[in-house]
């Protein structure tokens, strides 16, 4: 009896002893685990290889960007701006915005008190807004 006809025989399992059945099931389990681990090792190797390719490409891109960029000239330090000027400008801008919204003149509006409200938006929300604004331009 050749090998293929022996394994194709449906009565083979019924003829096996309990020890042979345990041995066959352990062999099947070990073979399945071996194939799985081999596949995982191949996937791990491919992932490591591709990550190295990406890192090398990014390093080359950054290096070429550094080479192509010209050296920055030192800019003159900005003139110190007084806080009072900033507050006056802020009041003027807020007054103009309110006047435009209400459809009236700036002389009809008096801003008495401005309170800054801290931004409670999480970082991911701020990042999303910046991405949306940058996508528009």
- The predicted pLDDT at position 70 comes to 53
User: Shortest CA distance to 12 belongs to which of 26, 24, 27, 30?
Assistant: 24
Count other Cβ atoms within 10 Å, centred on residue 51: 10
Is residue 114 within 8 Å of residue 94, measured between CB atoms? yes
Is residue 107 within 8 Å of residue 99, measured between CB atoms? no
pTM summary value: 0.39
Task: Report residue 73's pLDDT band, with 50, 70 and 90 as the boundaries.
Answer: low
Per DSSP, 137 falls in state: -
For 9-13, the CB contacts below 8 A with 24+ separation are none
Higher pLDDT: 39 or 7? It is 39
- The predicted pLDDT at position 94 comes to 87
User: Which two tokens mark 136?
Assistant: 């528009």
Mean pLDDT of 49-70: 78
Is residue 95 within 8 Å of residue 109, measured between CB atoms? yes
> CA 123 from chain center: how many Å?
13
What share of the chain in percent tops pLDDT 70? 78
């Amino acid at each position: 009896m050749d090998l293929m006809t022996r394994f194709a025989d449906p009565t083979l399992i019924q003829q096996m002893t309990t020890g042979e059945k345990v041995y066959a099931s352990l062999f099947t389990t070990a073979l399945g685990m071996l194939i799985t681990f081999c596949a995982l090792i191949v996937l791990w190797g491919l992932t490591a290889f591709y990550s190295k390719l990406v890192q090398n490409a990014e390093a080359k891109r950054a290096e070429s960007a550094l080479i192509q960029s010209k050296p920055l000239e030192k800019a003159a330090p900005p003139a110190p701006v007084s806080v009072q000027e900033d507050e006056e400008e802020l009041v003027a801008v807020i007054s103009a915005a309110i006047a435009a919204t209400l459809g009236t003149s700036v002389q009809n509006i008096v801003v008495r008190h401005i309170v800054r409200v801290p931004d409670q938006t999480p970082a991911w929300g701020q990042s999303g807004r910046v991405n949306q604004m940058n996508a528009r331009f």
